[in-house]
Amino acid sequence: MITSSLISSVREFAKVDGPMETHQLIANEAGQKISQLLHADPNIVLLGTLLMDCVIGIAIQENRMAEHVSMCQHKAKELLDQDPDITPEEKNNVLACVLEHHGVPKFTTLESEIVCNSDCYRFASVKGFYYSLRYFRQMPDENFISLVKVKFNEKRNCVTLDIVKNELKYQFIAIENYLNLLK
């Protein structure tokens, strides 16, 4: 069983070294909405969206971005192992969500696919893109534009669910047009 106290403690943990708060909210909200539409387990998806990048701040600081998925999965396991109520199946499902959040040829579970698709809203929806622009605004122009472009393309290519493709298709065009006009 996934208790509210586990969710609260994971939420608190993710605030420290996780992504910026607005991006976490965007991914969490998307995950909950898609879970409802596809009848998935919303608590697994919530833990997945909270934990998928839970120590990304440390990975950036230590210049280990390429390892961030395994770092986050390791930390997620450590946190979940301390909880007496979560079942082994639930734990494995959440860990799959973290491990597969950048996409895989075949997702282990529906919840894992939903978490990966929810992550895409952070950089490839108009709202998520807007917050990226605000967050990275201190960077030199050239680095900043290429970073948001790389993240947008990466996340657009990770979308697999039809409902997400349909919701975001016009937003992809809007963001792409905006990026082209910045050239």
Q: Is 53 in the site for Fe ion (CB under 5 A)?
A: yes
In angstroms, the Cα distances linking 74 to 39, 83, 105, 158 are: 28, 15, 22, 23
Please identify, using beta-carbon distances, which residue of 154 and 174 lies nearer to Fe ion.
Answer: 154
Integer Cα distance of 46 and 59 in angstroms: 22
Please identify, using beta-carbon distances, which residue of 53 and 111 lies nearer to Fe ion.
Answer: 53
Please identify, using beta-carbon distances, which residue of 104 and 174 lies nearer to Fe ion.
Answer: 104
Q: Which of 65, 33, 28 is nearest to 48 (CA)?
A: 28
Rg (CA), the chain: 16
Q: Is 41 in the site for Fe ion (CB under 5 A)?
A: no
**For the CA atoms of 158, 156, 154, 23, what is the dihedral angle to 10 degrees?**
-90
Only segment of 52-60, 128-136, 146-154, 169-177 that touches Fe ion (CB under 5 A): 52-60
Q: Is 100 in the site for Fe ion (CB under 5 A)?
A: no
Query: Any residues with CB less than 8 A from the CB of 21 and at least 6 apart, and which?
Result: 15
In angstroms, the Cα distances linking 126 to 71, 133, 174 are: 29, 11, 8
Give the nearest distance from C-beta 102 to Fe ion in angstroms: 6
Token pair belonging to 182 = 């910045």
Count residues binding Fe ion (CB under 5 A): 1
Only segment of 8-16, 33-41, 48-56, 58-66 that touches Fe ion (CB under 5 A): 48-56
Give the nearest distance from C-beta 8 to Fe ion in angstroms: 23
Binding mask 113-142 for Fe ion (x = CB under 5 A): ------------------------------
Positions touching Fe ion (CB under 5 A) are 53
